[in-house]
Amino acid sequence: MAGPRRSFAITSGHNMRTQVGIVGAGPAGLVLAHLLHLAGIESIVIEDKSRHYIEHRLRAGLLEQGSSELLIETGAGERMMRERMVHDGLYIKFKGELHRLDFRDLVGKSVMIYAQQELVKDLVAVRLGYGAPLHFEVANVALADLEGPRPKIRFAEKGEPREIECDYIAGCDGFHGISRSSVPADKITFFDRDYPFAWLGILAEAPPTKDELVYTHHERGFALLTMRSPTLSRLYLQCEKTEDIAHWSDERIWDELRLRTAGGEGWKLSEGPIVQKGITDMRSFAVEPMQYGRLFLAGDAAHIVPPTGAKGMNLAIADVRVLARALEAFYKAGRTDLLASYSRTCLRRVWKVQRFSWWMTSLLHRFDTENAFDRRRQLAEIDYLTSSRAGATTWAENYVGLPMEWD
Ligand code: FAD
Ligand code: DHB
């Protein structure tokens, strides 16, 4: 590998050069660009959607303590500090009764609610605020020369062909991006698991039913009550994989949510106008390694977890922390060891989070292939986890986010 060199985000005709080319302006790409900027490393971010689109795409909402601390420590968390909702625990409802898992008591940490699109807005504003390059609405993105010393990102902008020559490329373009598929098939291994159900998610103008999230195990299937603000609820229902959202009227959704979450003294589901609804697929997926030549895959480009447990965005942020540190060691000290161990370091966390997300999904959903014995077993496990401090602690420790491990 070539040693560190000064590089400039220069433009000559349609060509540019930078130190790190970043494909994708989701949480992974934007957090990476921010961390590199703070370390004095130049990058160019390209995104195939518009700024408006990425700033309004409804997705994740729960941040582990480590993710939020990183944003605050690096100066990107100002608005988040004002608007976030800090949760010291969560509720689990089963057999119609509400139980609470107290993270603060069990592991001394908390999580917080802050919508992914708000985080994206903050990070876009920070980047544009220091005048760093961020190109929206690019097309026909392709990667070239990944094995050589000067990998390239080619794309079209306003119909004109463009090329960025980089030292390194970060593939942060999500599950459907082009980075992962730019790796030759014999250099990458895929691991996956499908689930026989999906989630129907709604956003409703209704105050949250409870002060913290409610995960519900029910004979009719899983339900989750979460939130985006003191006046906005986000609710999810386990549904058929092939479900057509057109068959779910607002009335049917509320009926089903009421049925699944009913029970317990003083319980009343908070309801209001539904302002958005959609179906989310459930899958577990990972690739090994997360690197090929000078391309590093990060976030959903490298792995997907089912949403139960809210790990996807947090894992994306953890990956780019590892990558930013490795790039900093290279540019500041000429070290290539951390780049070489990037994939190994990330995958240790990835597989622990894969395990946890799969486990929480298996614990709380109804599987039609399973029988009454399995449902009794699920209930016994939830009972154990909510009544044993040892059981509750292992759940809480994973939920709030495992500590970062550096190689
Ligand atoms: P993305 O957010 O997908 O960003 C990739 C970016 O690359 C996108 O902006 C995309 O437009 C762009 N792109 C794609 N292709 C190209 C291309 N060819 N060229 C240039 N740009 C390209 N995670 C949590 O941690 N907590 C939660 O509470 C949570 N809840 C969720 C709820 C739902 C309903 C869903 C769907 C997901 C949830 N997740 C959650 C997962 C989380 O949203 C993702 O894991 C997260 O967005 C991953 O970030 P990323 O930057 O890796 O990928
Ligand atoms: C949210 C989503 C999740 O999958 C989860 O486990 C917790 C919260 C959310 O969208 O707020």
pTM of this structure: 0.96
- In 3-state terms, what secondary structure has residue 380? helix
Q: What is the dihedral of CA 354, 357, 358, 360, to 10 degrees?
A: 150
Confidence at residue 86, expressed as pLDDT on a 0 to 100 scale? 98
Give the span between the Cα atoms of 215 and 97, in whole angstroms. 11
* Number of the ligand 1 atom closest to the C-alpha atom of 319: 52
pLDDT truncated to tens, each residue of the chain (407 aa)?
344 444 445 455 579 999 999 999 999 999 999 999 999 999 999 999 999 999 999 998 999 999 999 999 999 999 999 999 999 999 999 999 999 999 999 999 999 999 999 999 999 999 999 999 999 999 999 999 999 999 999 999 999 999 999 999 999 999 999 999 999 999 999 999 999 999 999 999 999 999 999 999 999 999 999 999 999 999 999 999 999 999 999 999 999 999 999 998 899 999 999 999 999 999 999 999 999 999 999 999 999 999 999 999 999 999 999 999 999 999 999 999 999 999 999 999 999 999 999 999 999 999 999 999 999 999 999 999 999 999 999 999 999 999 999 87
Two tokens at 370?
Answer: 């399973």
Confidence at residue 7, expressed as pLDDT on a 0 to 100 scale? 44
Confidence at residue 406, expressed as pLDDT on a 0 to 100 scale? 85
Confidence at residue 270, expressed as pLDDT on a 0 to 100 scale? 98
Confidence at residue 12, expressed as pLDDT on a 0 to 100 scale? 53
Angle at 167 between CA 47 and CA 140, to 5 degrees: 30
Ligand 1 lined by 299 (C-beta under 6 Å): yes
Long-range CB contacts for residues 347-351, cutoff 8 Å, separation at least 24: 347/286, 347/288, 347/289, 347/290, 348/405, 349/315, 349/318, 349/402, 349/404, 349/405, 350/286, 350/290, 350/302, 350/303, 350/315, 350/319, 351/286
Instruction: Return the ligand number nearest the Cα of 178.
Output: 1
Of the candidates 261, 339, 336, 349, the residue with the CA atom closest to the CA atom of residue 303: 349
Ligand 1 lined by 66 (C-beta under 6 Å): no
Confidence at residue 6, expressed as pLDDT on a 0 to 100 scale? 42
Confidence at residue 265, expressed as pLDDT on a 0 to 100 scale? 86
CA dist 221 → 237, 257, 354, 367, 380 (Å): 7, 10, 22, 8, 17
Two tokens at 298?
Answer: 């990060």
Two tokens at 360?
Answer: 């929480």
Ligand 1 lined by 28 (C-beta under 6 Å): yes
Give the span between the Cα atoms of 89 and 211, in whole angstroms. 10
Q: Specify the length of the chain in residues.
A: 407
The residues with which 144 forms a beta bridge, in sequence order, are: 152
Ligand 2 lined by 29 (C-beta under 6 Å): no
Burial label, 144 (beta-carbon count in 10 A; 0-12, 13-18, 19+): middle
Pocket test for ligand 2, best of 217, 224, 315 (most atoms within 8 A of CB): 224
- In 3-state terms, what secondary structure has residue 54? helix
Q: Whose CA is nearest to atom 11 of ligand 2?
A: 61
Ligand 2 lined by 234 (C-beta under 6 Å): yes
Of the candidates 138, 170, 149, the residue with the CA atom closest to the CA atom of residue 42: 170
Q: Tell me, letter by letter, the H, E, C secondary structure of 117-153.
A: HHHHHHHHHHHHHCCCCEECCCEEEEEECCCCCCCEE
Burial label, 223 (beta-carbon count in 10 A; 0-12, 13-18, 19+): buried
* Number of the ligand 2 atom closest to the C-alpha atom of 227: 11
Confidence at residue 13, expressed as pLDDT on a 0 to 100 scale? 56
